[in-house]
């Protein structure tokens, strides 16, 4: 059973197609990154998967049930991008309010709420009214709310928005912990570095259509980028590297970025450079940046 499944899912607003016949499967226990430009259909897709928006056509299933089914919703956590908080409540009261909606027993609420506040870095702020919270603190509290019910599936829409570098690092660690515990995480984010750091697979939506799905290696088409640092990289040597791939860029006479077809070619490249007079300092394979892949795919380039 897929944790999340969409079959020909479609949403139209009048003549505007927000999501066009989307087919998607997310495995249990994986972190799935859902990417797209503003207005591409990401938020509409999430709302259909949560039962907040009714699709124009197609079907969706979360934990094997229709979106909005109480039996499924009891095991789903959700952090929306624009969360509306009750400014007159304290942090503890806010989480207690949501825990009561899950029918969580009083003893479990007393234990779970301090545990979550500690986990998201808000220990000591239990009795502070939310009106005094910064945007980053509210984001942390929203994440605690999404984890309140021990969810099996968590939808996170821009979870690091408003957070400082330390906060983003803590959120990444929480996401990894959720994956290790077998929780499925569906992550919407414009922070491509965050997606690159935690996601097992990525789906890219463009103008309502899901155009690519796969691991970062699969999206890169099997190519590998190699950073070469060597003294004496003459124009002739740089041109000779073309036998192993495409020279993406050269910086002076000591740095070249090569897009190679196979990792097995690296020893041959190193030997050839040394034999031809270059003094090799480093030959570093690196994955093609997600930002480059995203821009290429969204712009429709081959």
Per-residue pLDDT of the chain (302 residues; tens, 9 = 90+): 799 999 999 999 999 999 999 999 999 999 999 998 888 889 899 999 999 999 999 999 999 999 989 999 999 999 988 788 889 999 999 999 999 999 999 999 999 999 999 999 999 999 999 999 988 899 899 999 999 999 999 999 888 877 888 888 888 899 999 999 999 999 988 778 888 889 999 999 888 888 889 888 787 666 678 889 999 888 888 889 888 888 888 887 788 888 875 777 888 889 999 999 999 999 887 766 777 778 877 776 44
Third-level CATH fold of 221-286 = Alpha-Beta Plaits (3.30.70)
Per residue, the 3-state secondary structure of 1-41, as one string, reads: CCCEEEEEEEEEECCEEEEEEEEEEECCCCEEEEECCCCCC
4-218 to CATH, choices 3.30.365.10, 3.40.50.300, 3.30.70.20, 3.30.390.50: 3.40.50.300
Burial class (CB in 10 A: 0-12, 13-18, 19+), 15: exposed
The ranges assigned to domains in the chain are 4-218, 221-286
Q: What is the dihedral of CA 228, 234, 237, 239, to 10 degrees?
A: 100
Contact 64, 46 (CB under 8 A): no
Q: Give me the numbers of helices (H) and strands (E) for the chain, helices first please.
A: 11, 13
Three-state secondary structure call for residue 115? helix
The reported pTM is: 0.81
């Amino acid at each position: 059973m897929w944790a999340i499944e969409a079959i020909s899912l479609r949403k139209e607003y009048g003549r505007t197609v927000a999501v066009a016949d989307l087919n998607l499967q997310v495995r249990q226990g994986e972190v799935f990154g859902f990417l797209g430009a503003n207005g591409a259909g990401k938020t509409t897709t999430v709302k259909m998967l949560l039962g907040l928006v009714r699709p124009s056509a197609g079907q969706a299933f979360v934990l094997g049930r229709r979106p909005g089914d109480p039996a499924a919703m009891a095991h789903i956590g959700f952090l929306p991008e624009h969360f509306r908080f009750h400014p007159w409540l304290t942090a503890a009261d806010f989480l207690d309010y949501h825990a009561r909606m899950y029918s969580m027993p009083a003893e479990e609420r007393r234990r779970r709420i301090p545990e979550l506040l500690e986990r998201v870095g808000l220990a000591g702020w239990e009795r502070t009214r939310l009106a005094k919270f910064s945007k980053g603190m509210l984001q942390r509290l929203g994440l605690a709310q999404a984890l309140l019910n021990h969810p099996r599936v968590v939808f996170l829409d821009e979870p690091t928005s408003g957070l400082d570098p330390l906060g983003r690092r803590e959120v990444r660690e929480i996401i990894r912990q959720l994956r290790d515990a077998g929780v499925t995480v569906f992550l919407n984010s414009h922070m491509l570095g965050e997606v690159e750091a935690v996601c097992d697979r990525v789906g890219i939506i463009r103008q309502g259509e899901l155009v690519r799905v796969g691991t970062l290696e699969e999206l890169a088409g099997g190519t590998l980028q190699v950073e070469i640092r060597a003294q004496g990289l003459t124009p002739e040597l740089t041109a000779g590297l073309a036998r192993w791939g495409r020279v993406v860029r050269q910086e002076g006479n000591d740095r070249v970025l090569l897009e190679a077809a196979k990792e097995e070619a690296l020893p041959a490249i190193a030997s050839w450079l040394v034999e031809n007079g270059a003094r090799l300092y480093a030959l570093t394979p690196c994955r093609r940046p997600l930002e480059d892949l995203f821009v290429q795919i969204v712009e429709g380039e081959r």
